[in-house]
Structure 1
Amino acid sequence: MAAVTEESVHHTEIPHLAVNVSHKTHRASHGDVKCECSHTLCDTFQEAFFYLYPFNIEYSLFASAMTYVMWKNVGRIVESHGHHKAKFRLKDALVGSVSGSLLVIAGLTTFILYELDIVTEDKQKREKVLLMHFVMNIVIVSLMSVCTVIGCVVYRLDHRQHISEKNPSHSLDVGLLVGASMGQLIISYFTIVAVVATGAKGYMNALNLTLAVVVVLQLGLQNYFIIEGLHREPFHAIQEAALRTNGQAFQEHPEVNTAVGLNSCSNKLNWKRKVLKEVCAFLLFSNVILWIMPAFGARPQFDHHVETHFYKHTMWTSIVNIGLPFGIFYRMHCIASLFEVYLMS
């Protein structure tokens, strides 16, 4: 947790707003600036450090979470039952995987252009890539919201019961999911207040406001979808129970063709499983690109100065530095949770 705090602290030094704040915060100084190194390895390490550092933050957060799970499981007695080995097969969610991969490629393209042009002195180029960044994020988050609604509708049609056994891992997953999402919600909330208070003049402000509103909607829908998925009985457990029930019925009433009923039941589940897997795959890839962009340096919160002028530099920097690490962790945690929901579907 100290590593997360350090991440926020070393991002707080911003000399003035006349320069590109995004890369001033991202490339904050480490140690004595007078210390110089003429070896080429020093420059290589300095450049690589900025891209490796987010993984250190994620590792620290996951290590804390997993240690807590281990602590909660000490002395816990689990009921003995057969374990089903779930397999990840790409063909089970081909549409979601392909469309999600295309979204990642498109997002990476716009992110690279953003990183290259946001540091230039040309104001028109900076506004252009910032506009492109906003539009791309709105498209990604909107598609995720629509996809999540489809998954929630399938849950309403699904009659799987909720897991009755207490599971510390799932309880922690839900707690981290809701808690970490508050970071992005805080940033979106203050963005909405700032843009509305200033009158939302100009297309850039309108896009910024739209993105903040859509993000709030997407976070709520995705949290509900993942929490419902984690607490539903796995499909393989239902199928095993159906096999045992039909086997007993066949022994008592051989004249009844229970195999037909079992096959019919499986067919009814197939389309639900297919839709849920497609939704999970698409959301998983979408969260990957939404994790990559802020984790590796995208800071539109500082490149677009409405919030900075409204809240003043110190307050807005504090809001972003508190909320952004949690927002980055939220996306990574969603990836792990969605993969688990995928395997259970």
Structure 2
Amino acid sequence: MGSNPREDKENEASSPTASVGHHSLSAPVTHSPKEVWKKGGRMFSVLLAINLVLLACTLVSSGAFNQVAVHDYDVFFMLTIVMLICIAWILFYLLVTAKHQDAILCKDSHAGPVWLRGGLLLFAIFSLMMDVFKTGYYSSFYNCLSAIKIIYPIVQAVFVIIQTYFLWISAKDCIHVHLDATRCGLMLTLTTNLAVWMSAVTDESVHKSHSNSSAEGCNCNTQICQIFQNGYFWLYPFNIEYSLFASAMVYVMWKNVGRLIDHHTHHAHHLKFKLFKRTFFVGIILGLFILVSGLAVLIVYEVQVNDKSQPDKKNEALIMYYIFNIVCLTLMSLVCIGGSIIYRFDKRDMDRHKNPTRTLDVALLMGAALGQYTISYYSIVAVVASKPRDAISALNLTYSLLMIAQHTFQNIFIIEGLHRQPPEEEHKIDPHRKGVYGLTFVNVNAVSLRVPDGGSALPSPVPESLGAVAIQPSDVVQSIIVPKKVKWRRKFLKEISLFLLLCNVILWIMPAFGARPQFDNDKELNFYGNPMWATIVDICLPFGIFYRMHAVASLLEVYIMS
């Protein structure tokens, strides 16, 4: 599993069974202890990650409840320690491991594309801003708070800076020295990001449920304290996405440890990112309209739902929110179905080469969608089984059904697009047909009259044994017509990808920045009860939010590959 293919070949060559392979019975192949340990090195790092994740999950969940004698500063202390260990290992990797001779024999061209690293850098900047606000907020209570609450955001800021630099320059590395230490270090970094993500999600949920309470009874009376508190709270979604983006990139690096890439089968797709080339601007215009409309709906929703003086405005805000999402999800579902139909006529071959990045993308899309699936099915059961059935209930039911359908159709479209070969490789011009592609008009009848029985379309046919290729008249016409059809298909796929990308952006913004109809609508709360429904939403909604941002990154890749 984690063995080196080069060593495997050497073992086979030196094995006594290699020379007697023609016999029906051969001695069993024995593996060297070093090779067995390399296979076990990956398993050891996985077990280390599982134990760390369980420990972090236990502490974070325990610190979220007042009845449990585990405080949030205990969680911060644990996270600070593991982040310091990760910082030390990253510095060791950059200064020692990566500088070792023959450390990086090859690079994975699919790992860490520039748009993914750019998104990571953007989220890192906002995460640093959040750490500044959080440090200022906790510094206002330095007399009545534990010092670890002030130290934690400072250490987290250092961790974000070093990790972002590490992933920016090393995301494509296939390291071949210090294999076991690198695997364990990467898994430690991955679990640290997941622990920070769990802590941020829990802290955000607790903040929403206790929005008027201050930290450990300390009063936040000054205006600057209120600014710091509101500032770091609104920046939480960016920090959450940063942790998940970093976890995904670290996982791909872990998969590439000790990997040897066959350059004959591993095609590096050096595709140029040209945003508005070969598009009709329909997708971008319609997507921007949905994005701007969604922002307006979000602002009105937040104002009306939080307005305690006019309770009737809450129902109007819910109706407006559901109608917008129903329209948006319907358009997205239809567009995804149209894109899947276009793929049925796409002649590009499927890319079946080993690609850990694509495998992870597909797994994250399918896994993260389960969060929204769960919420939708619970909502469907609550709406159908409860009475009375009013307009909001009908809209909620339609919204939940469309959410399931849209996730399904979008996953099919994205996964199929990620597995297609790039057009540059699929439609290379045959050197024997270069002259044909330069034609602007062909008289098919004239060409067909000049072709003798069983002959070639060329004036002076040359035998195929001499290296020439016979071109039939139908091939001449097809050579000119087919690329034009392909061009139209590519344009439609690009329009679809841009439209879906912008729609997913607004569907990420709305729940990430406070639109929670799951709590504002009392139907599910009354049916399941506050503890059960709050637990379901708090666990599943972060996965649904992450799905949208991950879909944005995947759709950007589909756009470039189309």
Same fold (TM over 0.5): yes
Contact 2:220 2:226 in 1 (8 A): no
Structure 1 pair 319–245 and aligned structure 2 pair: CA distance change class (3 A): farther
Structure 1 CA distance, aligned partners of 2:224 and 2:431? 64
Contact 2:322 2:399 in 1 (8 A): yes
Aligned residues: 334
Structure 1 CA distance, aligned partners of 2:301 and 2:496? 29
Contact 1:290 1:331 in 2 (8 A): yes
Give the stretch that moved more between structures: 24-33 or 124-133: 24-33
Give per-residue Cα distances to partners, 1:294-332, cap 9 Å, x unaligned: 000111000001101111000000000011100000000
Contact 2:325 2:399 in 1 (8 A): yes
Give the structure 2 partner of residue 18 of structure 1: none
Decide which of 251, 266, 280 is 1:68's aligned counterpart.
251
Query: Which ranges in structure 1 are unaligned for 5 or more consecutive residues?
Result: 14-22
Give the structure 1 partner of residue 241 of structure 2: 58
Q: Does 1:252 align with 2:454?
A: no
Q: Does 1:5 align with 2:189?
A: no
Give the structure 1 partner of residue 540 of structure 2: 323
Q: Percent identity?
A: 45
Structure 1 CA distance, aligned partners of 2:247 and 2:212? 26
Q: Kindly report which structure 2 residues correspond to 1:271-282, keeping only aligned pairs within 5 A, or say none.
A: 271-282=488-499
Contact 1:4 1:325 in 2 (8 A): no
Structure 1 position 256, deviation (Å)? 7.0
Letter of the aligned partner of 1:219 in structure 2? Answer: H
Q: Does 1:92 align with 2:278?
A: yes
- Higher alpha-carbon Rg: 2
Structure 1 pair 172–30 and aligned structure 2 pair: CA distance change class (3 A): farther
Structure 2 CA distance, aligned partners of 1:133 and 1:26? 25
Q: Kindly report which structure 2 residues correspond to 1:173-192, keeping only aligned pairs within 5 A, or say none.
A: 173-192=361-380
Q: Kindly report which structure 2 residues correspond to 1:291-306, keeping only aligned pairs within 5 A, or say none.
A: 291-306=508-523
Structure 1 position 293, deviation (Å)? 0.2
Give per-residue Cα distances to partners, 1:35-72, cap 9 Å, x unaligned: 3352x432222222122111000000111110000111
Contact 2:271 2:560 in 1 (8 A): no
Q: Kindly report which structure 2 residues correspond to 1:121-160, keeping only aligned pairs within 5 A, or say none.
A: 121=308, 122-160=310-348
Letter of the aligned partner of 1:32 in structure 2? Answer: E
Contact 1:243 1:262 in 2 (8 A): no
Give per-residue Cα distances to partners, 1:232-285, cap 9 Å, x unaligned: 111111022x44574599971488797764332211201110111111000000
Give per-residue Cα distances to partners, 1:153-203, cap 9 Å, x unaligned: 101111222112010000000000000010111100100010011146000
Structure 2 CA distance, aligned partners of 1:312 and 1:110? 28
Structure 1 pair 212–247 and aligned structure 2 pair: CA distance change class (3 A): same
Structure 1 pair 245–321 and aligned structure 2 pair: CA distance change class (3 A): farther
Decide which of 211, 216, 229 is 1:32's aligned counterpart.
216
Give the structure 1 partner of residue 305 of structure 2: 118
Structure 2 CA distance, aligned partners of 1:76 and 1:209? 48
Give the structure 2 partner of residue 17 of structure 1: none
Contact 1:134 1:211 in 2 (8 A): yes
Give per-residue Cα distances to partners, 1:210-243, cap 9 Å, x unaligned: 0000000000000010000001111111022x44
Structure 1 position 29, deviation (Å)? 4.9
Decide which of 273, 282, 288 is 1:101's aligned counterpart.
288
Give the structure 2 partner of residue 20 of structure 1: none
Letter of the aligned partner of 2:532 in structure 1? Answer: M
Structure 1 position 85, deviation (Å)? 2.6
CA RMSD between the two structures: 2.4
Letter of the aligned partner of 1:107 in structure 2? Answer: G
Letter of the aligned partner of 2:426 in structure 1? Answer: I
Structure 2 CA distance, aligned partners of 1:303 and 1:152? 36
Letter of the aligned partner of 2:215 in structure 1? Answer: G
Structure 1 CA distance, aligned partners of 2:214 and 2:363? 34
Letter of the aligned partner of 1:96 in structure 2? Answer: G
Structure 2 CA distance, aligned partners of 1:253 and 1:110? 62
Structure 2 CA distance, aligned partners of 1:248 and 1:168? 40
Query: Which ranges in structure 2 are unaligned for 5 or more consecutive residues?
Result: 1-193, 437-457, 459-466
Q: Which has the higher helix share?
A: 1
Structure 1 pair 214–245 and aligned structure 2 pair: CA distance change class (3 A): farther
Contact 1:84 1:236 in 2 (8 A): no
Structure 1 pair 11–308 and aligned structure 2 pair: CA distance change class (3 A): farther
Decide which of 510, 531, 538 is 1:314's aligned counterpart.
531
Contact 2:201 2:240 in 1 (8 A): no
Letter of the aligned partner of 1:34 in structure 2? Answer: C
Give the structure 1 partner of residue 5 of structure 2: none
Contact 1:184 1:326 in 2 (8 A): yes
Contact 1:11 1:321 in 2 (8 A): no
Contact 1:27 1:50 in 2 (8 A): no
